[in-house]
Amino acid sequence: MEGVNSNSASEQLFARARNVSPGGVNSPVRAFRAVGGTPIFMRSGAGAWLTDTDGNRYVDLVGSWGPMLLGHAHPEVLAAVTDAVGRGTSFGTPSEPEVLLAEEIVGRTPVESVRMVSSGTEATMSAIRLARGFTGRDKIVKFAGCYHGHVDALLAEAGSGVVTLGLPETPGVPAHVTADTIVLPFNDRAAVDAAFAEHGDQIACLITEAAAGNMGVVPPRSGFNAFLAETCTRHGALFISDEVMTGFRVTRSGHWGLDGEPEGWRPDLLTFGKVMGGGFPAAAFGGRRDVMEMLAPVGPVYQAGTLSGNPIATTAGLATLQLADAAAYARLDDASAQLQAMVGEALADAGVPHVIQNAGNMFSVFWGAETPVTNFAGAQAQQTWRYRPFFHAMLAAGVYLPPSAFESWFVSAAHDSEALSRIAEGLPGAAQAAARAVNPERRTEAE
Ligand code: PLP
């Protein structure tokens, strides 16, 4: 079965949506283009479960693409939000919740000073501007396969090879905007050394996902982030660790809690989003005080936002972070470990070659891979055609997975034994469907 039947409410809403919005969606991956079929329009969520507009229930493994750390409609988050809404929704002035959230972030992360924004894209865009303003340099370094939002200068990706000057891949991004973006293979120290040897005195910053989650989950090799931090410092560039996805998810601080805190290094700047908004649009960038104080109104680098630090979004974020105690992270990590084991067993039983990779409780499956995937080229080599039937079989069994093989699966602290049982019931059939899948390129060759 692919998608929902043609008389379903989702089908009808999708037809109406396509009439009034490009592709019927407000963010492209939601459109199910990679897996086929009709996107499911959700009406409500509670804990680990989503309910669609037809009343079908699914265990949710997308978690709104990461934010729903505690599950949907957590009663205490809702109570805090309802209370805040009763006092008004936006003032365009400073307000207490944003101070409380900033204090919470400063208390958990290597950030001394933080500026709130409304999306992860805004956070990375602003961090790049700040780094350029602080250093007086123009070039930026990013890694192929890392996603930092739809910032013009960060949409560039490398082909294979070492130091490559990025070319715009999206119409609408002028070549001069990416001319200063250097794109390198992830996890490749030699490529980083070569880029800094050639351009070191012109590089404003290097930005990386703390652990890549946007080409599937590709963790940094041991010591890689520390190496990046040290390289940047040596060349007078800033190291920006993008923790929009990993922040407050893989530990109470983020991925830095796994490799930075124990090893004793700090990024100059970090970006956050997703979990820190508790399901509302809130994000942030922060870091060294001397760098952050280059921002207006203290310094000359301009950055602003009508809804930045919005009292409802910051209230939801604060409640989420305060509720995410050690027990919640332990539940989350345990559910993720159980799920990875279940998926691995089902795929192995069905004879589907695969590698499952994780960064803390975030994980994904690389279909057809036989060795660990360490970079974008490896991620792209996977057999995505096996994912399509797997995805639809799981959907029919009442499990909502990311509609793309290149995304992390997200569990929440609300994924209990009932939710895991539902997933376990769906897995053998879905694994068989993945095993039976035919490479469309081979089929075309045979025809
Ligand atoms: N950075 C990372 C690592 C992300 O995963 C994302 C979104 O998925 C972003 C930045 C952009 O965040 P947003 O979608 O809130 O603009």
Statement to judge: residues 56 and 105 lie in one domain = no
Residue 159 has pLDDT above 80, yes or no: no
**292, 389: one domain:** no
- State the pLDDT at residue 184: 96
In a domain, 335, yes or no: yes
Instruction: Please give the pLDDT value at position 162.
Output: 22
| Domains of the chain: total | 2
Look at residue 175 in the predicted model and tell me its pLDDT: 86
Choose one of 288, 323, 358: the last residue of a domain: 323
Annotated catalytic residue, options 58, 147, 387, 400: 147
Q: Kindly state whether residues 291 and 202 are assigned to the same domain.
A: yes
Minimal-distance CA residue to ligand 1 atom 1: 148
What pLDDT is attached to residue 5? 57
Q: pLDDT value at position 2?
A: 53
CA gap 181, 415 in Å, rounded: 40
CATH number of the domain residue 297 falls in: 3.40.640.10
Residue 80 and residue 69 share a domain:
no
Is the per-residue pLDDT at 342 higher than 50? yes
268 C-alpha to ligand 1 centroid (Å): 19
Instruction: Establish whether 274 is a catalytic residue.
Output: yes
Neighbours of 220 (CB within 10 A): 23
Sign of CA dihedral 210, 132, 280, 216: negative
Q: Are residues 273 and 422 in the same domain?
A: no
Identify whether 4 is part of a domain: no
For residues 423 and 403, give the distance between their C-alpha atoms in angstroms, rounded to a whole number. 16
Question: How remote is the C-alpha of 237 from its chain's centroid?
Answer: 25
Does residue 399 fall inside a structural domain?
yes
Q: Judge whether residue 139 has pLDDT over 90.
A: yes
* pLDDT score at 392: 98
Average pLDDT over residues 283-290: 98
Quote the domain boundaries for residue 295.
75-323
User: Distance (Å, rounded) from C-alpha 367 to C-alpha 381?
Assistant: 9
Structural domain includes residue 358? yes
Instruction: Using most ligand atoms within 8 A of CB, pick from 214, 271, 410 the residue to mutate for ligand 1.
Output: 214
- Whether 168 shows a pLDDT value over 70: the answer reads no
Pocket, ligand 1, Cβ cutoff 6 A: 65, 119-121, 124, 147-149, 209, 213-214, 242, 244-245, 273, 283
Is 2 a member of any domain?
no
25 and 133 co-located in one domain: no
147 has catalytic annotation: yes
